[in-house]
Amino acid sequence: MTIAVFLGSLLAAMALGVPIAFSLLLCGAALMVHMDMFDAQILAQNVINGADSFPLLAVPFFMLAGEVMNTGGLSRRIVDFAMALVGHIRGGLGYVTIVAACLLSALSGSAVADAAALTALLLPMMVAAGHDKARSGGLIAACGVIGPIIPPSIGFVIFGVSANVSISKLFLAGIFPGLVLAAGLWFTWWWLTRRELLTPPPRKTLAEVMAAMRSAAWALMLPVFILVGLRMGVFTPTEAAVVAAVYALFVAVFIYKELNVKQIFEVFLAAAKTTAVIMFLVAAAMVSAWLITVAQLPDQVVNLLSPLLGSPMLLMMAIMVLVIIVGTAMDMTPTILILTPVLMPLVKAAGIDPVYFGVLFIINNSIGLVTPPVGTVLNVVAGVGKMRMDDVTRGVMPFMLVQFALMFLMVLFPQIIMWPARLLYN
């Protein structure tokens, strides 16, 4: 009955068009009434405690870093460098998109920020070169999925806080799977465009490649600082977010000189607005998470799925299918906040490595950003690229299916994630 009250109140509020954060608060209030323990003071206290977390400070700083990079010229120089490297290959603009997405992912950790930057910079160039607009938009949307996987990652920060899992280990474990997804996109783009007769731009000379690399050098140094700092224990993920924001701001203002005082205010305002939405979601979800624990919902779910506890692989398959279904209707952050406290006891009972589960969980939620009908990244690409949502959805389908196939391959072969991860953090 408790599960029915939890799901019923949450889904009913969402069906009525109530924003997710308020739906979570209503869901928490309904659970409190059901358990005959309603107290507005407890409700408010849990909301405050939900946002009162040092690791969550990484979220606003990574959001700020992403905004600064898009406005301050760092993202554009990354794209120019990728263009110099692979732009001359047949279908080269698609490969430029993939390379640029990997580099941007190592800078901002936000799928929405990366997708917006890539759409604004590359979609007009791809269309002008003769590529199908729907397919190009679909590739850019699929590349946005890599953002929350290759560190730094806002998704890993939120999951790490919710599940009490090392964020540093999650960051390091996400590197190789993110590159595997990028390789899958590379192969898919090659397969889809292999018969196109478009003439690629001429190969850049070595001098031009070196010039592009020098121009992007300041931007390219940021992921090196973050990853080396995390690996060597110089700073925590939260401190890494501060380093990323301050470094990006310094480069944009004093090195590239593309940010003025008015733009700085606008960048801070945009980052603050996005952060406010995410942090209110986190705070509201803490109410539900606390009540889920009090109502012993995880124990009920464990009992429900106890036949699968003896087979971790089957259990992971079932969880991945569940997350795919939820991802079609819900954004990444609320999905993490709602499902993590329910699934983690199940994962621990089955003896599954929490870092391995966290990486797969975030990969699945990231792909959910391009899963219709709700896909946030699809809406961003459609809005920035002035495209119909149906066209972007049609274009992203082959890339999304390949990403799901690779995700299930990682479920079947956990070593794809864990072997490189242990090599890095041990």
Q: Any idea where the domains of the chain sit in the sequence?
A: 1-38, 54-425
Closest to 159 in 3D by CA, of 63, 284, 59, 240: 59
- Amino acid symbol at 373: P
Distances (CA, A) of 234 to 13, 228, 230, 239, 251: 45, 8, 6, 9, 21
Q: Is the peptide bond before 345 cis (omega within 30 degrees of 0)?
A: no
How confident is the model over 263-276, as a mean pLDDT? 85
Report the C-alpha gap between 128 and 103 in whole angstroms: 24
pTM of the model: 0.80
The alpha-helical segments, DSSP class H, found in 295-375 are 297-304, 312-327, 332-349, 354-367
Residue written as tokens 């938009």? 137
Predicted local confidence at residue 225, as pLDDT: 79
Q: What is the DSSP letter of 39?
A: -
Contact present, 328 and 368 (Cβ < 8 Å) = yes
Predicted local confidence at residue 3, as pLDDT: 65
Report the C-alpha gap between 399 and 150 in whole angstroms: 18
pLDDT in tens, 10-33: 778 777 777 777 777 787 777 777
Instruction: Give the pLDDT band (50/70/90) at residue 342.
Output: confident
Termini Cα distance of the chain: 45
Predicted local confidence at residue 397, as pLDDT: 93
pLDDT in tens, 149-199: 988 788 888 899 888 898 888 988 998 999 999 999 999 999 988 777 677
Q: What is the DSSP letter of 199?
A: P
Percent of the chain with pLDDT over 90: 15
Query: Hey, what's the torsion of the CAs at 126, 128, 129, 135, to 10 degrees?
Result: 40
CA dihedral sign of residues 324, 330, 333, 336: negative
How confident is the model over 363-368, as a mean pLDDT? 91
CB atoms closer than 10 angstroms to residue 217: 13
Report the C-alpha gap between 299 and 292 in whole angstroms: 10
